[in-house]
Every structure is written in structure tokens, then in C-alpha cells.
Chains A and B, each alone.
Chain A
Amino acid sequence: MKENPHILYVYPFGPFYPITSGSDLLANTHLEYFRRKKAKVDLLFYHRPEKVNQIKQFNEMYSWCNSIHELQTPWHELRYGEFLCVADYVTKIEPLKSLLKQNYDLVFNNYCLTAPIAFAAKKAKIKVLETVDHLFNAFPISLGKKNQPTCDLFFYKKVEFDLYKIFDKILFINQSELDDTPKINGLSYECIPPAWPFENITQKKTNNSNVDVLFIGGGNKPNLEGLDFFYNEIFFPYLRNKSINLTVVGKVCNSWYVEDPMVKKLGFYSGPISEIYDSSKVVIIPILEGTGLSIKTIEAFAFGKAIVSTPSGTRGMNITGNPLVTIDMKNNPEAFAKAIIDLIDNPIKRDELGKKALNQFQKEHSFEVYSYRMDKFLELAS
């Protein structure tokens, strides 16, 4: 591909800076990668009304883009078919209609829900889909639609795999989701886990930490259910009586009912997230289910923290170097608690595990590794 490629980047749940979710982090990683490639990026995103306060910061962050287009839609209220319907409709009206007529070197879509936009960009040379996660799985888990009839989920799967056929290259962040995807001749598939797109990540000594246990999470259902389970089955019976405190950060606080002097709920934290990590001893990932990749685990790796996680928190990751403690929290809550106590009581062990975590991050999720993998996959000059 030529230098300074002309790229159309599409994101359905914007703006995605400041980061409030794993998919926001992923989008920031993509854009940072394209910035470093000196690409000419036309940025298109669907504006979620609740993120209206972020728009100023977002525009500043992405002022380097060639153009930014935001579409005001009731996107967040739509169901699967309706997502597609609206995405198809907006390709027929201005300003998208003109935008899509351009000779893009690359159209890069996040989530297959935006597939109609890639389809309409007829002159684009390469069309790439970042799946983020399998939506037919995400629907019942993240959106709490567990009672969706099986047939509908099976149907979503069919539609989703059909939509993949519009693209030339398909990206995954979770290896097992890539493995589960039926392969179509002529399409390239690759699993590239996201990186932390920002500088200044170093492991800090945690001797002066005042937070014993830290959990950072968005307001989705798996976070809420997992945190609830952790509090009731682990924190309350095993940790609280040992004067161990818990700090919860992120939008998960908004819908979590617990009021306990030993639990600090900080909510959405607009300051540097490194401050929170630096002040904590152990990071927990207490989720019981999830799709895609657990971005909060990667983030904790990036800050070199000692992590105790459920198997769901490490889904789809290559963790052969044991960079964290993984315990089935649901079936063995006591062991989960013991692992936390052990790390809190033992700073040397904690630092060692933290080093392993940082090493894991550098090996799998550093920006250099990410860039190398993306260069290879997208065939962009490095």
C-alpha cells in the first residue's frame, strides 16, 4: 500500500475518547496506529447522546485527522436488524454519500453492524473489519438478553458471518473467536489483541499503596454481576474481616447498590488512570462471562499490577508465562480470596507477579508489537 494511505475509519458508538470501555480503547489504538503511519484519516462515528460531554476532548485528541464526521442517530436504542437498516440508510444521504465516493485505500470498520458502510464504499481498495467480538455472543451476555430465543441467536450468527463476506480482511482480538469463525476463501483472518496506545507506562513500586483491592470496569452486565458475586461471596465473608479495603472505579459504580465503609466507589475517573493503579496493591478481574477480550486485564498488565482473575478475564489470551493468578471464582471463592490475601501480605510476591504482568504486556500488547502485527496484516509500509 502506498505511503500516507487515505483511510475511512468507522466507529458505531462514539465519541471514543476519553476511554470508557474496552472498545473505546481498541478504537484509540487503531487511530494511534494510523496516526503514526501518517495516514490521511476521515473519521466517521455515530454519536451516542450520553457521550455529548466528551466531544470537545475528542475533537482535540483527533484534530490531526483529515476530517471528522459525526452522525446523530438513535443508534444505541436499535436492535440488530435496525442497526444494519440505519447504517444502510445513511449511506444514501449526505454527507456520507459523497464521502463514500472517494477512492479510499482502506475502509476500516469497527463491528460488523457498520458493514453497509463498507459495502457502499465501492471504490475502496481494501475493506477491513475489526469484529471486536462476536455480536451473537455479545447480545445475550453484554446486553443481558439471555432469554433471546436460541433460534434468534443462531440467526444473528448466520447474519454476522454473512456480513463478513463484504470485507477483504477480518480482524479479531480474541483467538478463540477467530478459531470459531468459519473461514471463507479469499479473505484474510488475523487475531491482533489491542495495545495500550499511550506513552508513559512503567511499573511503580506499591509500598505506599492505600488501596488493597482494585476493580475498574464499565457499566455492562458482566461487570456488575461479577462484582456483585465477588462482594457477596468473597469480599464480605473472607476479606472484609481482615480489614482489607476494596476500591471500585468506572461506570460500574453507577448501578452497583453496595454501600460499605470498606468499599470506596469512585465512579468514572477523569484524571490519569495511572494514579489509581499506582495506589493499589492487587487488581481483580471478577467477571463470570464476557466476549471479545478483557481490556481491563490488558490495562492492568500495562501498569505492571499483580492481578487475580477469573478464567473469563483471560479469555482468548496467550498467557503461557503465568502473568496473573487465575482462579474459578464461582466454584472456588475461598481460593480466590486466599490468593488476594496472599498477594496483599507479600509485597515481594506482588512485585514479581507485577513484573510478569508488565512483561506479558510488552510481549503481547505493547504498541510496537501491535504495529508490527498490523503492518503485516494490512500490508502497510512500516
Chain B
Amino acid sequence: MSEQKKFYIINNGMKDLRGHYFETSISIAEAARDMGWHPILTGHATCELGMVPEWLEFYPVFRTDHWMASKIEDQSHIETLINFADYHQASIEQVKVGKATFQQFINSRFYIRPELNAWNIVPVKQTFFTRITHRIKEVYDNDGLAKLLLLTLKKIFRECCPPLILKILKKALSPFIKKPELIKPNKLNFDLDHELHSCILFKNDLSKILALTKATPSDFVFLPTAHGRELLAISQICEESTFAPRFGLEFRHALDFPFIILPLGEEHAYAAQHRFYFERIKEKGLSNRIRLFTDTKELAEDYTNFSGLPFDVLPIPFRQDFLKNHEVIPPILHEKLRIVYIGDPREEKGFHWLPFLIDFLAIDYLKTNKVVLEIQASVHPVNSELKCINALEILKSYPKEWIKFHGSNGPLNPESYYQLLSNAHAIICPYDKLTYHSRSSGTLTEAIAAGVPTIVPADTWLSNQQPTGSGLTFDGLQDFLIKTKQLIDKYPEFLQKAKLAKVEWQKNQDPKDLIMEVTKESLQELIAR
């Protein structure tokens, strides 16, 4: 019987088993399993075990994450170092039949500390002959045959040949000598060394997991939140190994950051990094084993225009099992209407607007016990944005019966998250219009799937997705406040439309569609086969 094909979910940014990374990973893994794949989940090396379902293989292995905001942690205890291509070539079976040395077996598996060089751990003994042949190969590889010829002649005739003849020879051969590639001294607004180091680390870690789990060309590797550095690392793996699996990389973050004011003409580091990586990819061409995706049509256009590379669109996965049979029950008798803010409390998500909303609704809705605001308040006292920290302090000063806080001690676990979501009568997304003009929102995806009315920014991906009549759009803070009031006043109408839209949406955002789409062989791949 042939071995089950593996579906890898590479989530190197996943540092704990909760939140968006975890939820989407599980939904994808479930779908992959149900479709006959063997799912394998990976996370950051600091991610603890536990909470991962027993049926799911899980390896916390990566030393790099998406944002790489902090310095790479010193993890010298990680001594394994595997090159995917070398790993199988230096198997113990190959060692036994003399096709590989024991040293190669060790070197393809472990990182040996440099200080142990005292042990002279060099597999090949350096002789005069090996030195010469190595030098010849080096010149030939880097500078071409003409340069090799010139150097050889120079060496031979140095003693007996007049300098003039050498000069003539040099001139005659010069058109054939490879010109050294000029690297534009562009001023980069990010740390290139740090980036490239991270890229190598990612490549090593991915190589390790692919080698250990015996990845084959029929397996598939999916990165639900990819970065350019991962694309470069994966391209190198595909280049080096003929038996690499296929890869799908989904880019979910927008390349512009309207909240960050930069000097005129200067690009944000995130965009600059991606420009750098996409340029490197274009130099050799995108491997036919790699496909690129985003999760919205708008974002795909942005990325295609930015990079000149092809990007397709994938559905947005969510834990369907939590929401499938959910039914929103409108408030009965004296029950309050629950307006929910869910997701990371961030400025781009308008968390700092919530005190304004409270003030606006206070007299007519909150004091009269018509409405309660439920908030995911996972604000970190130090790491969160200052505006959000301040907003939370203000929110805490209001009467307790007006606001209910969730997740104050850290991110919500899956059960609490979906409980908060499914208890919502309405979900507000006071997101920044520019930031979200092409970005997707997992919260909106889940809200529509649960049949909950919503409020979203106008002219964004969110407003394009919001089913007609199931909620309202806003433009600016004042409009957000007014629209929230309108939604409360005419709640039953919105709820009815939201319920109708829910079934169709669930069908369109099925994680199984994601698996189908991402693993579909492109025309190029079919031709290559």
C-alpha cells in the first residue's frame, strides 16, 4: 500500500497554542485529514506541546517567526542541523555500502561547534593535489573558462614570457571573462545581515523537518502566513533537491502601513524586505514547485503589481465545527443586546475607539440596560500599543455592568474565543480603512459564518465581503458611532439578513476548498511533469 501523502502546515510564527495561527492551522489540518492527507503541523521552537489533538503530528522547531522583531534568540542547545538534500544522500545505508562516509552522515545531521575544530574534523585530507583541483574548480565556477585559461597561462609563462605578451593575451581574452556582478549600493532600511541569517535559519529548520518526516515530491507544504525570506529559503531547497515536495505560500499581510509615517520617498522595512526577496526570486525565476497566494482578490492584485510574480486567492479557513450549527438568538425580554469586539486589541483594529463608543451609547443604551459591550481585552501591559493600553484603562473606569472584559490575562483559548463569538448579537470591526483596504479579517469571516450582524469599514475587503443587509459600513470615527446606533435600532432586520447569508458563506469558505485550491497542480507543473 502506498504511503499516505503528507500535508505540512508550516506556522513558524505560532508561539502558543491559541489565537489565529493555531485556530486556522487546526481547521486546515482537519480539512486535510478529512481529505485523505496526513497532516503535520509545525510551530515556533518556543511553542509548548499540549492542546494539540492526538491525531495531529506537531513539531515546534522554527527559530524564526514572521515579524522577527526581536533578535534571534540564542538557542545553542539546538544542535541538529540538517540539509534536506544531503540528509538522504548520507543515510546510514549509504554509509554501510561505502557511498557516504560516517563524517558525512554526522555532518548532514548535526551542528558541530566551531571550537571543536581542534579535533580537525575535516573529512578530506588536504594535499597539494586537492588544493590545486579545488582552486581550479573555484575559478572555473566563479569566473569561467577564459579566466581559468588566463590564470594558467600567467602561471606557466610568468618566468619566461615578456609582460607585453601577457598584456596582449589579457586584452584578447577580456571579452570572454565573466564580469563580476555589480551589487547596487542601495541604502536598505532594514538589517540585511539579520534578514539573511534568519533566512538561513528558516531553511535549516524546514530542511530538518522535511528530512525527518521523509518528505517526498508528492507531499505538500503550506505556509498560511508566509514572508519573503521564507520564499527565498524554499526556492533554495527546491533548487538544491530534486525530490523536494510542492509548496504553497500564502501572503496575508498588506505591504503598506498607513499608521507609520515615514520620510518622503522612504519605504516601510516590511515592503523593502519583500522587494529585496522578490527581486532575488525573479533573478532565477519562481520554481514550478512553488505557488503563491493571498487570501483576498485585492491583496493578490497588490502583491502581483508589487512583485511581478503570480498570486492566486485562497479561501479563509476557520473552525467550522464550532460554528456550523450555531444560531444567533436575539435578546429576549430584558436581555441586553451583546455587542462584541473580538480579536487582538490593536490600533489598526480600532481598539482605541471603544471608549468613544461607550460615551456615545451611554445615556440611551447602556444606562437603560439595552446594550452591553463585550470586549476581548488581551492587552499586554508593556508590549501592546500605548493607545490601546490607555483605552483599556479608560474602559475599566466605566460601570461594570456596561462592559464585560474577556481574556484580560492573555489570549483566549479556542473554546472561550468561539464562545464569545457565538454569544455575540453583533460584532463591530472598527478597523482602519487604509490598513484593511486589501487585507482579510478572520473575525469578519467567522462573524458572517456565525450569522452575526457586523459593522465594518467602507471601501475595504471587509465591506466587499459583508453580505448585503447583514450589517453596516462606516467611514471615520463619527460614522462608526452613528452606524452602531443604527444597527442597534434596527437589529432584527440585520439579523434576518445575516442568518440568510450564513449558509452560502460557510460553503464558500470551506477549508477543504483551500486544500483543493492550494494543492491543485498549476499548468506549469503539469507541463513539467
| Interface pair B112/A82, CB less than 8 Å apart | yes
Stretch at the interface among A143-151, A216-224, A236-244, A318-326: A143-151
| Interface pair B45/A89, CB less than 8 Å apart | no
Question: A81 an interface residue at 8 Å Cβ cutoff?
Answer: yes
Instruction: Kindly identify, within residues 96 to 133 of chain B, every residue whose CB is under 8 Å from any CB belonging to chain A.
Output: 96, 102-103, 105-106, 109-113, 116, 119-121
7 interchain pairs, CB-CB under 8 A = A89-B120, A120-B102, A150-B59, A151-B80, A151-B209, A152-B78, A159-B109
| Interface pair B212/A85, CB less than 8 Å apart | no
| Interface pair A85/B77, CB less than 8 Å apart | no
| Interface pair A150/B103, CB less than 8 Å apart | no
| Interface pair A81/B92, CB less than 8 Å apart | no
Cβ–Cβ < 8 Å partners of B103 in chain A: 85, 88
Majority SS at the chain A contact face: helix
CB of B181 to closest CB in A, whole Å: 36
CB of B340 to closest CB in A, whole Å: 36
CB of B40 to closest CB in A, whole Å: 11
| Interface pair A151/B77, CB less than 8 Å apart | no
| Interface pair A86/B102, CB less than 8 Å apart | no
Question: B138 an interface residue at 8 Å Cβ cutoff?
Answer: no
| Interface pair B92/A151, CB less than 8 Å apart | no
| Interface pair A88/B79, CB less than 8 Å apart | no
Stretch at the interface among A160-168, A266-274, A307-315, A364-372: A160-168
Question: B61 an interface residue at 8 Å Cβ cutoff?
Answer: yes
Of A86, A150, A151, A166, which is within 8 A of B96 by CB?
A166
CB of A20 to closest CB in B, whole Å: 27
| Interface pair A165/B96, CB less than 8 Å apart | yes
Tell me the complex Cα distance, A120–B105, Å.
14
Q: Interface residues of A, CB < 8 Å — how many?
A: 28
| Interface pair B106/A81, CB less than 8 Å apart | yes
CB of B74 to closest CB in A, whole Å: 13
Question: A158 an interface residue at 8 Å Cβ cutoff?
Answer: yes
| Interface pair B96/A154, CB less than 8 Å apart | no
Majority SS at the chain B contact face: mixed
| Interface pair B60/A152, CB less than 8 Å apart | no
Digitize A47-83: 1 where CB-to-B-CB distance is under 8 Å, 0 elsewhere.
Answer: 0000000000000000000000000000000111110
| Interface pair A151/B212, CB less than 8 Å apart | yes
Tell me the complex Cα distance, A79–B113, Å.
9
Of A80, A82, A147, which is within 8 A of B116 by CB?
A82
Of A81, A88, A151, which is within 8 A of B208 by CB?
A151
Shortest 5 CB-CB distances between A and B: which pairs? A81-B110, A151-B61, A162-B92, A151-B59, A88-B102
Question: A263 an interface residue at 8 Å Cβ cutoff?
Answer: no
Cβ–Cβ < 8 Å partners of A165 in chain B: 92-93, 96
Tell me the complex Cα distance, A85–B104, Å.
10
Question: B288 an interface residue at 8 Å Cβ cutoff?
Answer: no
Smallest Cβ-Cβ distance to A155: which chain B residue: B80
Smallest Cβ-Cβ distance to A161: which chain B residue: B92
CB of B125 to closest CB in A, whole Å: 9
Knowing A81-B106, A82-B113, A165-B93, the reply to whether A89 touches B121 (Cβ < 8 A) is: yes
Smallest Cβ-Cβ distance to B57: which chain A residue: A154
| Interface pair B92/A163, CB less than 8 Å apart | yes
CB of A127 to closest CB in B, whole Å: 12
